[in-house]
Structure 1
Amino acid sequence: MSLPLLADLPDTLQPLVGRNEQSLRAAVAAAENLSIDHWTTERWSHFARVAAASEFVLEQSLRDPAMLLGLVAAGELDRPFARGELCGQVAAAALAANTEDELARNLRRQRTRQQVRIIWRDLTRQADLVQTCRDLSDLADASIDEAYKWLYPRLCEQFGTPTGHRSGEPQHMVVLGMGKLGAVELNLSSDIDLIFAYPEGGETQGVKRSLDNQEFFTRLGQRLIKALDPITVDGFVFRVDMRLRPYGSAGALVLSFNALEQYYQDQGRDWERYAMIKARVVAGDQVAGAQLQDMLRPFVYRRYLDFSAIEALRTMKQLIQQEVRRKGMADNIKLGAGGIREVEFIAQAFQLIHGGRDLSLQQRPLLKVLATLEGQGYLPPAVITEMREGYEFLRYTEHAIQAIADRQTQMLPEDELNRARIAFMMGFKDWGSFHEQLMHWRGRIDWHFRQVIADPDEDEGEDGEVVVGGEWLPLWEEAQDEEAACRQLSDAGFADAAKALKQLAGLRASPQLRAMQRLGRERLDAFIPRLLAQAVEHDDPDLVLERVLPLVEAVARRSAYLVLLTENPGALRRLLTLCAASPWIAEQITRFPLLLDELLNEGRLFSPPLAPELAAELRERLTRIPEDDLEQQMEALRHFKLAHSLRVAASEIAGSLPLMKVSDYLTWLAEAILDQVLALAWRQSVARHGQPKRSDGSLCDPGFIIVGYGKVGGIELGHGSDLDLVFIHDGDPQAETDGAKPIDSAQFFTRLGQRIIHLLTTQTNSGQLYDVDMRLRPSGASGLLVSSLGAFERYQQNEAWTWEHQALVRARVLVGCKQVGAAFEDVRARILGQPRDLPKLQAEVSEMRAKMRDNLGTKATAAGTAANAFDPGVPFDIKQDAGGIVDIEFMVQYAALAWSHTHPALLRYTDNIRILEGLEEVGLMPASDAVLLREVYKAFRSAAHRQALQKQAGVIDAGQFANERRDVRRIWAELGLS
């Protein structure tokens, strides 16, 4: 946020200026060898403003003027610290101590010095909010760590070195900073929430009477707290709060990693997950600390969508609100309505819900989380802007309140003097104008908070709270007889009430429901009435119920998904709409409930990204996963494919994406995935064997392409399409790779191809990526999995059948080496552009088409060629029967083979629509026929897509498209095909 410059001192503060200057001059005069005669007008101006606002800075300056003058002389009030500079000063103070009392004194004096510097720079706006919070957090980190480093060797000397039973290695403590310290967001008078841990059990070594490791680290923790927390004549370093540890104040001060993991796994509560989001290793053993955080991450971030987090946050907020009301804390800018805590709750709700799957949300600083929520599309930019600006305003206000007297409070002052100070520090002319702006931001934050955290059962009308779908609760709980239940269902619009009631009874009696725990059953009981209330809003509630209940049964044991739909009525509405429209979508979501996440954002659901955004999004997702975590990479690829496939299908159903765009998106999706799969397979293969070489001795990088045939080659992928692929390389088959375990290039590329197929086809919890068909490679299933470019060309020239050249018409490079890709395009052009004997070509294309009709066409109509082929009620196979899709494809392929020798432009594209346009442009096909074939082809493919979304075979009534099919057969015959 951009704060106004400090205004002139208000009248209330003017009398303090002269008094404070006189007091400082007197304190300097009373000390030896100090002078402020050299101070500039600007320095006095800064002092006047800071001292008038902050009693703490004034008091410390008068108490120890040498400290203030030292800061001035070093220029530390006028510049930010370099990285590590603050830590170095704290370390020097700790190192100078010879006793624990000296350690405590030195750290306290260092804290006072840094606090004066930080407040000065904050109030003169030489440091922004982030820098102020970082300085305060760095001060805490350094104080804790340097005290630990000072104490640890001395306790080892006294009690022996703690040693692990299992590892036999010396043990160090890990200090986790929680809350604002963990997030590097400390305020001017924060306490610090800490948790102490050590890696493993054992006992101390090197002394006669050894101690258990826990006893050793408990004593160390007690002394560490003593070094930081107690208030002495020198003040304090930081107030230490240990209540966030397991079992709170009643629990052990220090626990082993195993004990911590066991506690959080068995007894960890929702608020502890919330707290652990910001946990950071602030002192002690950083390496062991990273291992501890890896152990605890599954407790914080669940791999599934966890909307139960909202329930927990809502409960926490209600408890806070009760406390606020009880203690009269409405003016608390942290805990009150529209306060700092509400912004934190909003951010952490999204982190807890989505952070297990979206690793970009696994970060601590709130402002960075807000930026991620905007960048990843969780919240609109306008909402994020308001929350960020409101949060910054509140945090600056918090610092202003605490700067006055270095007190840990977020309460707005009631006295006129301190109100004037707050308004002045915040850049306002008076309290009224400041307070008006403050209430504006609190109102906006509270409004946004309610949108995210509010209970969906809350009705904002005057009638108080109502339960959505409450009229259906007695029916679900069997609190009424069967006749009354059927009557209620019938009155609400169910055509077969008895069947619907039976389906609900079947769900109640299912093994999954009987095995549910109490919390899960409560969530189900809250959800079913909502489901019924929304189902009856549809034209066919029977169909909705039939398709959605299998999903409910599938997720019953993972009731967080039920919470997702309960908490998000819009997501439930979209689920029912999509399931009613497509059993294929209903089945996909039932098999992979993680797709429910996609229903949360309506704008994103019906707006799939373009090719560059698709590729960039997938790259970003995979870069967040460690390179050696293959399992998580495979899951990320599969979830990405499932999610975007659903978005395309939803857009098609909604009518926002026409057929051609559907195929475009599905093809772009396949290309983005293949690009990353090739990169993964290449990295793994090179790591094992090194890089292969070309015949000129240069390294392949990767010297490999994936060629797409069929639908993916023709940019015509549909829902559930497999991929027809061919792998080609330009390595020297005889040369060996340059790694520690060298193999010849031919073997390397074969293994690379096998690795790619493995990554694409392996079944995981999220299914497989694609079915892959490699039979279009040279020599088909009996041929090499990967061909060199030279071998591919020789095969196509000397051995390939005409139907293989037909397939080559639709072949294009999907991903891989651009150099090899360009060479492949040259080979393709030479093969397809050679002159051909047209009668022979017509005969071979016709013969192949006849075989396909015989094997794959409708028997009852002789594949659409019999006299009854156009009769209503007779089946017509959209793809295989005469006059269908394959006839049009064969005509396009025949034309490309027949005439590309004289019209090479026909080879520019691989999709049927643009090849037909090319035939029209060069005059090889009448415009009327070319237009007709394009429109019929699109109509057939649209019908096939609709069938697929309905989980039906590509067979329709022969009465449909009768005239179109006759035209296709006419053009077929006019091309000389039989």
Structure 2
Amino acid sequence: MSSLTRTLISRGFSDLEKCERFLGFAELADLDQTQLLEALAVADNPDLALQSLVRLLSAVPESRDKLRVLDPSSGRWVSNEPMFRLLGASEAMADFLMRHPEHLDVLDAAPSPEPVAVPAQHFQASLLRAVGAEPSSSMPIAALGGTEARIALRTAYRRHLCELAMRDLAAASPQAVMPLVGAELADLASAALDAALAVARHEVGAAMGDELVARVRLAVVGMGKCGARELNYISDVDVMYVIGISNPPGLGDVMQADTVDEARAVTVGNALAGAVSKIIYAPEREPGLWEVDANLRPEGKDGPLVRTLDSFLAYYHRWAQSWEFQALLKSRAIAGDQALGLEFEEAVSPLIWASSEREGFVESVQSMRRRVTANIRDADAGRQIKLGRGGLRDVEFTVQLLQLVHGKTDPRIRVPATTAAIKALTQAGYIGRTDAAKLLDHYTYLRVLEHRIQLVQMRRTHLMPTAQDQLRALARAVAGPLSLKRPSADSLLEEWAKVKRSVSSLHERIFYHPILASAAHLSVEDATLTTDAAKARLAALGYRDAAGAARHIAALTAGVSRRAALQRQLLPVLLGWLADGVDPDAGLLAFRRVSDALGTSHWYLGMLRDHQAAAERLCHLLSSSRLVSDLLEVSPEATAWLGNDKELLPQTFEQQWSEIQATISRHTESTDAIRLIRLIRQREILRVAIADSCGLLSQEAVAEALSDVDRAAVLGALMVAEAAVYAGAEVLTQVLVVAMGRQGGREIGYGSDADVLFVHRPLEGLAPELAGEATAQAKAIVQKMTALLTAPVRPAIQAERVLKVDADLRPEGRNGPLVRSLAAYQEYYTRWSSAWEAQALLRARPMAGSDDLAREFVAMADPIRYPLVLSESDLREIKRIKARMESERLPRGADPARHVKLGRGGLSDVEWLVQLWQLQHAHEHAALRTTHTLPALHAAHALGLVDDADAALLEAAWRLAGKIRNANVMWTGNTSDLLPLARRDLEAVARWCGYEPGHAAAFEEEYLGLTRRARAVFERLFYG
């Protein structure tokens, strides 16, 4: 094997003998062979590039100057890659350059890997000028006619086509740029029609009179791919012609000869339309561009070539078949009289979107697709990219059917281009994101195949080639110029087969079995819900307002949408699950609201249909929790979590903090950053609440998760506040937020505030005289942080549970400074603090801010909260404060037996008792040095401070009181520390606390008895 042969193989050449022969031609004799082969190797088909190069150099010797271009970045002469890519992709483009060497300068362009769209007006102006027409004229008329005009038009068109092909071939991703290429090809075709119409006015005017022609308005309406701006390189351009009459004002019966009636207008319109077709496609020295096909017009080939708008509308109202409205889906005014064309668009639009109401519409569309497949020749069936199974038509029909069915009520999806329609259907929720991504990827892949095949000879074909060298070239073309691998013919066929299987599967599932056509319906009574029997069944299920429930169900099931059809099928089951909750009526209303927000989304409908556990969970939540219902109404997308337990697991503090840091880095404005931080907090509260309701979290896990949520939000707000205060100012101090109370113990519930202390420490080395300014800066930071967490934001966050920051546990309470330095805290606690302040420090836990300052604060606080000895006076003071708190802080009129926080045997009793043991014994016993109540209680039990029975009783009372507190918020959405009196509220709380339905009385009795006994233990151990 010669070295040349090896080089040819390594460069991707196929016909080695033929290539060696071409390399020996005189046209290449003075070229460096190594450099030439490297240049040719960039082409998708190096063999074709070499052959076209030899032909071009032979026909146009001056084209030799185009082989190399000056690289502006390096200043060196390099091979003209765009030229070689073009020669290796399109023999037809090489032929064009040979016929018109005056356009060789097109090869001087340096296309970017990321092509920029060329405005449609550029093509229109260029082609109109080519035929001597004025682009700014409202009715351009060409100065050229006959052969001269046709050649000028076609030449200018192909120059632009050559420019576009070079940009297309240089694109880094052929699939990504495909929609842009299709749109430009359609714009170029529209411009060609405008220029052809200008020539037609010139020619017809010469035969029939310029004034007569000027009074006939002609609009060219594009159909199919041209109308949708997704045209192929070579394709028939489907059109319809609309005519109008433009008689000058003042002409009456006395000037009949000067007026144009409809019959004369039709004659002129036919002449213009016929001339346009010939100018574009009739045989000439410069070959025709493409056939202008008007067969989609009313009555097809048998119908008039041109019609008035009224004639079109009369036909569509009375005689049109369903497929004709499907064809109109892509109609667009593309040339001629734009105002008349837009009138046509506006007039037919309501007819298009009402067409799905026609009897048997879905079935007729499906039948048409089957007929298209059946008419494919057997010899071509396996090679069809467009019409065969898994081809382009499968994607297009699927998308169009969804558009026609749902577009009647949803203007968002009324877009003609297939790629844009897939995106719109996805955004509107009619196709799932996964399915849509596949459809879009497969469609663009198939269109790139089609484009590259057609580009070679500029012939209208949709068949996959069979020759191995053509398949290899096509494989490289689809992979793109940046592909690191050299794909083979076999890999192309394997990938194409895979795409066809996937498209066919999606098409079968979405197109032939849409829910709107196949979902089972309820009985007549259940579907209408107007009969007394249907309302009686609702009442028997537990709906108190059967008529109201019937209205909600009617709203959910009305229409022919996917959501309505699926919910007609599912509602009998869903109504039963909703009725299992405490308030079925509220649950059904909440379900309607969530469905209004999400009902058309594919994943939501799929979850309701395919995931029974998730659907049942949703119904349980909506009929049992106002908190979750309100939050889901604001964030309905969270219902997706119900089908995946992993999604319901609370995010760790680290995960939340990482997200918040990313948010802050992207949003420099404090208002924007804090709004997103608060949204993250609301989202995570919802996640915890749903996981709690599904039994996925223990009581301790709920409290810890909520504490992490608040900690992340406070830390984020502190960072935003510091950035705002420090901006443009000298940093004087560091700030620490210390959690207190239940927040410090990581024992909060859904309605808890954030009890905190604010600590600061001036920076090391700060001048003493700046101490006051450091304190002022710290105060500004904490005030800004508090405002960020609590102040209203714009736009408002609906159903937000604002985190209230409460600093009343600071030294001297509300009368004390909001923020103190660490040294000031040290001095205060050492000299002035009372027993209750030392007790409050038992739950002090650094929450946000400087880690070093946090360690120093803990070191300062430990000797105070874990004293060597608790004096008798301090002991008496603690007992006195507890007694006074019970009498003064209990809400007026509240039953002490039912108040879960301050009432007998409630949270306060257990916590104060545990904290008393900590004050008395934590100095000696490290196990008591914790901010958490239950671990401290367990440690006290282990140390013998409380016996088994009493410890178990105290823990049970504390747990149940905490559950009731959370259950109140979950049920009503509002914070309440009272065991409910109303039977329905008590039933709801009992269920949230783990009791079976109907056991509210037993739950109430158990709580009252448990807390009564716990109170007795408390009094004996605390006051004894």
User: Same fold judged by TM-score > 0.5?
Assistant: yes
2:650 corresponds to which letter in structure 1?
P
Aligned to 2:757: 726
1:677 Cα deviation (Å)? 2.2
Matched, 1:617 2:668: no
Do the aligned partners of residues 428 and 849 (structure 1) sit closer, same or farther apart at CA in structure 2, a change above 3 Å counting?
same
Do the aligned partners of residues 960 and 543 (structure 1) sit closer, same or farther apart at CA in structure 2, a change above 3 Å counting?
closer
| Higher radius of gyration, 1 or 2 | 2
Q: Distance in 2 between matches of 1:466 and 1:25?
A: 68
Do the aligned partners of residues 560 and 851 (structure 1) sit closer, same or farther apart at CA in structure 2, a change above 3 Å counting?
same
Q: Distance in 2 between matches of 1:394 and 1:45?
A: 25
Asked if 2 retains the 8 angstrom alpha-carbon contact of 1:397 and 1:422, the reply is no
Secondary structure (helix, strand or coil) at the match of 2:868 reads coil
2:547 corresponds to which letter in structure 1?
K
Aligned partner (choices 37, 43, 66) of residue 64 of structure 2:
66
TM-score, normalization by structure 2: 0.58
Aligned to 1:822: 855
Q: How does 1:699-778 map to 2 (within 5 A)?
A: 700=733, 703-731=734-762, 735=770, 745=777, 748-749=780-781, 751-759=783-791, 764-774=796-806, 775-778=808-811
1:665 Cα deviation (Å)? 1.6
Aligned to 1:636: 676
Aligned to 2:637: 597
Aligned partner (choices 649, 658, 678) of residue 607 of structure 1:
649
Aligned to 2:881: 848
Q: Distance in 2 between matches of 1:594 and 1:899?
A: 49
Do the aligned partners of residues 318 and 508 (structure 1) sit closer, same or farther apart at CA in structure 2, a change above 3 Å counting?
same
Q: Distance in 2 between matches of 1:245 and 1:901?
A: 82
Aligned to 2:191: none
Aligned to 1:666: 706
1:669 Cα deviation (Å)? 1.4
Matched, 1:467 2:519: yes
1:599 Cα deviation (Å)? 0.7
Q: Distance in 2 between matches of 1:324 and 1:652?
A: 51
Aligned partner (choices 719, 726, 743) of residue 679 of structure 1:
719
Do the aligned partners of residues 754 and 451 (structure 1) sit closer, same or farther apart at CA in structure 2, a change above 3 Å counting?
farther
Q: What percentage of aligned pairs have identical amino acids?
A: 19
Q: Which runs of 5+ in 2 are unaligned?
A: 1-5, 71-76, 86-108, 132-151, 189-224, 237-279, 290-327, 408-418, 479-485, 980-1002
1:855 Cα deviation (Å)? 4.6
Secondary structure (helix, strand or coil) at the match of 1:551 reads helix
Q: How does 1:205-244 map to 2 (within 5 A)?
A: none
Do the aligned partners of residues 394 and 108 (structure 1) sit closer, same or farther apart at CA in structure 2, a change above 3 Å counting?
closer
Q: Distance in 2 between matches of 1:770 and 1:450?
A: 49
Q: Distance in 2 between matches of 1:63 and 1:954?
A: 97
1:546 Cα deviation (Å)? 1.0
2:68 corresponds to which letter in structure 1?
G
Aligned partner (choices 460, 464, 474) of residue 413 of structure 1:
464
Q: Distance in 2 between matches of 1:60 and 1:134?
A: 31
Do the aligned partners of residues 845 and 507 (structure 1) sit closer, same or farther apart at CA in structure 2, a change above 3 Å counting?
same
Aligned to 2:320: none
Q: Distance in 2 between matches of 1:391 and 1:596?
A: 31
1:8 Cα deviation (Å)? 11
Secondary structure (helix, strand or coil) at the match of 2:722 reads helix
Do the aligned partners of residues 821 and 525 (structure 1) sit closer, same or farther apart at CA in structure 2, a change above 3 Å counting?
same
1:804 Cα deviation (Å)? 2.9
Do the aligned partners of residues 787 and 446 (structure 1) sit closer, same or farther apart at CA in structure 2, a change above 3 Å counting?
farther
Do the aligned partners of residues 762 and 709 (structure 1) sit closer, same or farther apart at CA in structure 2, a change above 3 Å counting?
farther
Do the aligned partners of residues 70 and 133 (structure 1) sit closer, same or farther apart at CA in structure 2, a change above 3 Å counting?
farther
Aligned partner (choices 587, 590, 607) of residue 548 of structure 1:
587
1:36 Cα deviation (Å)? 4.7
Matched, 1:502 2:542: no
1:652 Cα deviation (Å)? 1.5
Q: Which runs of 5+ in 1 are unaligned?
A: 1-5, 144-179, 192-229, 238-242, 273-310, 354-364, 459-464, 695-699, 864-874
Q: Distance in 2 between matches of 1:559 and 1:824?
A: 49
Q: How does 1:521-540 map to 2 (within 5 A)?
A: 529=568, 532-538=571-577, 540=579
1:764 Cα deviation (Å)? 2.3
1:676 corresponds to which letter in structure 2?
G
Q: Distance in 2 between matches of 1:670 and 1:43?
A: 63
1:828 Cα deviation (Å)? 2.0
2:548 corresponds to which letter in structure 1?
Q
1:598 Cα deviation (Å)? 0.7
Asked if 2 retains the 8 angstrom alpha-carbon contact of 1:25 and 1:36, the reply is no
Asked if 1 retains the 8 angstrom alpha-carbon contact of 2:940 and 2:946, the reply is yes
Asked if 1 retains the 8 angstrom alpha-carbon contact of 2:563 and 2:605, the reply is no
Aligned to 1:803: 836
Do the aligned partners of residues 132 and 845 (structure 1) sit closer, same or farther apart at CA in structure 2, a change above 3 Å counting?
same
TM-score, normalization by structure 1: 0.60
1:841 Cα deviation (Å)? 3.6
* 1:645-673 per-position Cα deviation (integer Å, ceiling 9, x unaligned): 22212212222222221112211111222
Aligned to 2:141: none
* 1:103-156 per-position Cα deviation (integer Å, ceiling 9, x unaligned): 99999879858956985x89xxxx77689989999x99xx9xxxxxxxxxxxxx
* 1:277-308 per-position Cα deviation (integer Å, ceiling 9, x unaligned): xxxxxxxxxxxxxxxxxxxxxxxxxxxxxxxx
Aligned to 2:254: none
Asked if 1 retains the 8 angstrom alpha-carbon contact of 2:675 and 2:793, the reply is no
1:38 Cα deviation (Å)? 4.5
Q: Distance in 1 between matches of 2:508 and 2:755?
A: 50
Q: Distance in 2 between matches of 1:76 and 1:401?
A: 23
Q: Distance in 1 between matches of 2:843 and 2:913?
A: 13
Do the aligned partners of residues 926 and 759 (structure 1) sit closer, same or farther apart at CA in structure 2, a change above 3 Å counting?
same
Do the aligned partners of residues 963 and 113 (structure 1) sit closer, same or farther apart at CA in structure 2, a change above 3 Å counting?
closer
Aligned to 1:781: 814
Aligned to 1:950: 971
Asked if 2 retains the 8 angstrom alpha-carbon contact of 1:666 and 1:718, the reply is yes
Q: Distance in 1 between matches of 2:869 and 2:795?
A: 45
Aligned to 2:1020: 973
Asked if 2 retains the 8 angstrom alpha-carbon contact of 1:846 and 1:977, the reply is yes
Q: How does 1:896-911 map to 2 (within 5 A)?
A: 896-903=918-925, 906-907=928-929, 909-911=930-932
Do the aligned partners of residues 676 and 971 (structure 1) sit closer, same or farther apart at CA in structure 2, a change above 3 Å counting?
same
Q: Distance in 1 between matches of 2:8 and 2:332?
A: 51
Q: How does 1:303-322 map to 2 (within 5 A)?
A: none
Matched, 1:887 2:909: yes
Do the aligned partners of residues 788 and 902 (structure 1) sit closer, same or farther apart at CA in structure 2, a change above 3 Å counting?
same
Q: Distance in 2 between matches of 1:399 and 1:247?
A: 23
Do the aligned partners of residues 535 and 128 (structure 1) sit closer, same or farther apart at CA in structure 2, a change above 3 Å counting?
closer
1:910 corresponds to which letter in structure 2?
T
Asked if 1 retains the 8 angstrom alpha-carbon contact of 2:738 and 2:758, the reply is yes
1:619 Cα deviation (Å)? 4.0
Secondary structure (helix, strand or coil) at the match of 1:879 reads coil
RMSD in angstroms over aligned alpha carbons? Answer: 6.7
2:453 corresponds to which letter in structure 1?
I
Asked if 2 retains the 8 angstrom alpha-carbon contact of 1:708 and 1:723, the reply is yes
Do the aligned partners of residues 594 and 788 (structure 1) sit closer, same or farther apart at CA in structure 2, a change above 3 Å counting?
same
Matched, 1:569 2:611: no
Aligned partner (choices 389, 401, 416) of residue 453 of structure 2:
401
1:500 Cα deviation (Å)? 4.8
1:340 Cα deviation (Å)? 7.9
